[in-house]
Structure 1
Amino acid sequence: MKPLLFSAAFAGCVLAGCSMEPTYQRPALPVPNSYPSSTGTSATPVLGAAPIDAAETDWHAFFRDPVLQSLINIALNNNRDLRVAAAKMAEARADYGETRANLFPEIDLQGYGGRQRLPAMSQQPAAGLLGPIQNNRNTATTFNTFQVQAGLTSYELDFFGHQRSITHESGKLAEATAADYQSARIALIGEVANAYLSLNADRALLQLAQQTDSAQQYHANVMHKAYNDGGVSEFDMRRSQTQVDAAEVDVQDMQIRIAKDMDALAVLIGEPVPSSYDTPHTWQAPLLTDVPAGLPSSLLDRRPDIVAAEDRLRAANADIGRARAAFFPNIALTAVLGTLSGGLSNLFRAGSSAWSTGLSGSVPLLDWGKNESELGASKARYGGAVAAYEGTVQEAFREVADDLAVRDHIEPELQAQQELVDESQRVYAISQVRFKEGMDDYLATQDAQRSLYAAQEKLVSLQLDQAVNQVNLYKALGGGWREMPAPTAGNNAARATAQRQSATVSQ
């Protein structure tokens, strides 16, 4: 037993050997320190402002509509794409567990029992690692062999960090898939919200189209009666009917769009949309809390897709350590302890114990450039991972900057459009009065009706754009944002302590 314990202790000691991995350094973010301002110039970060934590917060705090919350809950439970992402995350974690197990000796218990016949003048080892050499010089021999052995075989002593680099790489890839799952989850929440908003906007447009259709039908009836009485020409009567036809086309088009919206939403939530669902009266109300001013671009550090890209970069860095370790000797340990006997009844009696231990090693002498090529490929993969990480950061920065630009300009556009709708309603009301009093022909009333309908359509479209912009900011900022308490002497000290502890853990 002592040799086995000694071997296991020795194996544990070498686990703390050297590593061939390069020291990881995060690439500098290839983006400005702040997002562009609404004037198109670079905004100066607000010094001394309350820090922002971009970690994903409870999405219920941002999506306040109870119907939308219900739909998001259903989607998080049923969506098939999210299930695929969860399965990949579980698979990656299992792979990491399997790889990590290779850092420790695997001890097996084996048993063997057999009967052999050796001819005269032969020499042959008995079965099993502990079996002795059998010599038969004069006559054939028949014998039994029984053995029980426990130990480890060919355990790699990781002097140069080969297995540790592989394990580190696998762990970072597992973390990347976890971040991928988080990205998929945030994207799904945003897609459900956008589909919900589009459905509500199309239902609002359907109501407008139906109201316009009713108004046009009323005026067409008036014109038809006037034509029968000889008060208007056939041209005017026919023209009024074309407005009815156009309005009916819009009604049917909106119904088609609503049907498609319902189908898209059903796919996202993984089941038919509940029949009790109805359009809320204030569907265009803000869904999210407002984004604080002076938003720093460092928020992108917490976006799941950027976290995943950096995890893959760290994995590529660990892979370089694996490739470098291939240039150094590979040393393996074998240690077995057990019992051996020619009879089953004597297998566990005194004197039947046996043990074996040994070291084996190999070092590459002539591999025709194989290891050198593998190292070059590993470094090239690291360079690609750096470029992928920087590209992910740049794309994330662009998404946030675009959404902030929309937020800065859509509010005044909405106000102007609302004023246009109000003025169009007044013009339409006046035109109806003037038509009834005979001051204008019906063409002026039709023009006023068309202008009002177009202005109302545009207003609904802008309201949808504003709400979708808030959802897109939720996704672009990695699942939301929340303001932290302003820094004080007390929490500054606590933050410094937490940073030191984090640095100690990482080392």
Structure 2
Amino acid sequence: MKSLLFSAAVASCALAGCSMEPTYQRPAMPVPNTYPSGAGTTSASAAAPIDAAEMDWHAFFKDPVLQRLIEIALTNNRDLRVAAAKMAEARADYGETRASLFPEIDLQGYAGRQRLPAMTQEPSAGLLGPIENNRNSATTFNTYQVQAGMTSYELDFFGHERAIAHESGKLAQASEADYEAARIALIGEVANAYLSLNADRALLQLAQETETDQNGHANVMQKAYRDGGASEFDMRRSQTQVDAAQVDVQDMQIRIAKDMDALAVLIGQPVLPDYATPRPWQAPLLTDVPAGLPSSLLDRRPDIVAAEDRLRAANADIGRARAAFFPNIALTAVLGTLSGGLSNLFRASSAAWSTGVSGSVPLLDWGKNENELSASKARDSGAVAAYEGTIQEAFREVADDLAVRDHIVPELQAQQELVDQSQHVYTISQERFKDGMDDYLATQDAQRSLYTAQEKLVSLQLDQAVNQVNLYKALGGGWREVQAPNGRGTAAGAMSQRQSVSAVR
């Protein structure tokens, strides 16, 4: 009973040992509380409260075809599988490291037959084996042994093993955030690839319509040339417009083929025709990004979460390096039976045990531990800089995307007005040509200007849609409207909740 109490006391001391880890202090965010003026944000006092609830990506990407493509990608994408495998590996590494906090108990068995010549000393047969002098004659004997116990279990008085486990746990959490970042990035890449595919199909349709119109114009000019009503210069110039339109058609078809190939890689399988059917380009495919987003939403970005977890791991590593300066104390305990005959192996008289405590303390390591501690502190400083740099880069991405959002709307309005006016000019030029008031070159110029304006409009619409997707990614995977007490909706954000290593929290 006394031995049991003593063992329990030793275990309690080990578990309650001191920690050499520095007290973790989260660095202040090295960015303003609000985005630059003109980036679509409000002041800090007017910023919306943050809601921790997740905005599911289904609510943001409304197109059912796009939703299906994202679902396939989340299942089949190989890069995401790699990220998932790394996350599982990090979790397993943490489990392995954490197991070192507890004593490992092994069960061993041994059975052997041995002959020793005269005037020799019998060596030990295992940890519990006898040592005898055999002076007169050779002897042959059997040895049977069963033992269970622990060997070299470190009593973690100074937190060395706990610091290693803590570091491994934080790295496992960082791998989970890395997986979440890869998942959000994949969703955005699939959306952008799908939007590019639809935009290129709209441009292809526009190029084909232009080719048809230019063919009609060229036929008119060829007939007029044969009848003597047009010069060869005018006839051949009209044909160049046909050739240019054909080049645009082929170029769009190449781009569409590349879009399909890129989408196939992202979803991990060929794109089925039903999934690749273009939707009306003007349809509202995405949820609009609300105004007044505070910079504190950056806390929810997975890459920032991962950077802080790695910072915490570096902080724990300092504790491991500090603990190396203190004594290492290990406990050995074995209980078993030992007998020369198998039939006597499990009798009470065959019981044997062994226990011991060993310790070591560094005396002269030629600066090894000191340099290791300096290296650990340097890694911690680097982790702080990496964490702050990740925040600054995230802030820049969101600020850039918000600036694009604010300025692309009036640009789109102006471009739409340009398309409408160009359409009117083209219609009027056709009427004037029919009435003989203008030559056909004016009509061709008007048609070419209309085509260029329509192309630019589709490109700007694509830029606006991609900008919304980029904001979705930059803000960590979404946001949602929260009802304030006055009944008005306020903007709030959240990234997808990550799975946690609860034992490390």
Tell me whether the two structures share a fold, i.e. TM-score over 0.5: yes
CA distance in 1, matches of 2:485, 2:17: 42
| Structure 1 residue 225 displacement after superposition | 0.7
Aligned to 1:19: 19
CA distance in 2, matches of 1:462, 1:409: 11
User: Are 1:190 and 2:204 counterparts?
Assistant: no
Residues 224-235 of structure 1: matches in 2 within 5 Å?
224-235=222-233
1:131-160 deviations in whole A, cap 9, x for unaligned? 222122333333222111111110000000
Aligned to 2:199: 201
Aligned to 2:497: none
User: What letter matches 2:22 in structure 1?
Assistant: P
Aligned to 2:148: 150
- CA gap 1:339/1:487 in 2 versus in 1, 3 angstroms: farther
Aligned to 2:177: 179
Q: CA RMSD in A?
A: 2.0
CA distance in 2, matches of 1:278, 1:424: 32
- Note the residue ranges of structure 1 that are not aligned, 5 or more in a row: 489-504
Aligned to 1:45: 44
Residues 110-121 of structure 1: matches in 2 within 5 Å?
110-121=108-119
| Structure 1 residue 3 displacement after superposition | 4.7
TM-score by length of 2: 0.93
1:267-296 deviations in whole A, cap 9, x for unaligned? 111111112235444334343333333211
Given that 1:54 and 1:479 are in contact with CA atoms closer than 8 Å, whether structure 2 keeps it comes out as: no
Given that 2:111 and 2:144 are in contact with CA atoms closer than 8 Å, whether structure 1 keeps it comes out as: yes
CA distance in 2, matches of 1:5, 1:86: 45
Aligned to 1:379: 377
Given that 1:45 and 1:294 are in contact with CA atoms closer than 8 Å, whether structure 2 keeps it comes out as: no
CA distance in 1, matches of 2:106, 2:8: 13
Given that 1:56 and 1:478 are in contact with CA atoms closer than 8 Å, whether structure 2 keeps it comes out as: no
User: What letter matches 1:7 in structure 2?
Assistant: S
Residues 293-442 of structure 1: matches in 2 within 5 Å?
293-442=291-440
User: What letter matches 1:438 in structure 2?
Assistant: G
1:469-503 deviations in whole A, cap 9, x for unaligned? 00001100111112334379xxxxxxxxxxxxxxx
Which of 106, 112, 133 is equivalent to 1:135? 133
Given that 1:145 and 1:341 are in contact with CA atoms closer than 8 Å, whether structure 2 keeps it comes out as: yes
139-148 or 456-465: which moved more?
139-148
- Note the residue ranges of structure 2 that are not aligned, 5 or more in a row: 487-502
272-281 or 326-335: which moved more?
272-281
| Structure 1 residue 12 displacement after superposition | 4.7
Aligned to 2:78: 80
Q: How many residues align?
A: 489
452-461 or 110-119: which moved more?
110-119
Aligned to 2:30: 30
Given that 2:62 and 2:287 are in contact with CA atoms closer than 8 Å, whether structure 1 keeps it comes out as: no
CA distance in 1, matches of 2:248, 2:200: 11
CA distance in 1, matches of 2:483, 2:369: 53
Given that 1:157 and 1:333 are in contact with CA atoms closer than 8 Å, whether structure 2 keeps it comes out as: yes
1:314-342 deviations in whole A, cap 9, x for unaligned? 11111111111110000000011111112
Aligned to 2:107: 109
**Helix, strand or coil: the match of 1:164?**
helix
| Structure 1 residue 58 displacement after superposition | 1.2
CA distance in 1, matches of 2:53, 2:183: 14
Given that 1:52 and 1:482 are in contact with CA atoms closer than 8 Å, whether structure 2 keeps it comes out as: no
Aligned to 1:250: 248
- CA gap 1:262/1:401 in 2 versus in 1, 3 angstroms: same
CA distance in 2, matches of 1:275, 1:45: 48
Given that 2:42 and 2:293 are in contact with CA atoms closer than 8 Å, whether structure 1 keeps it comes out as: no
**Helix, strand or coil: the match of 2:132?**
strand
Residues 444-463 of structure 1: matches in 2 within 5 Å?
444-463=442-461
**Helix, strand or coil: the match of 1:276?**
helix
| Structure 1 residue 6 displacement after superposition | 5.1
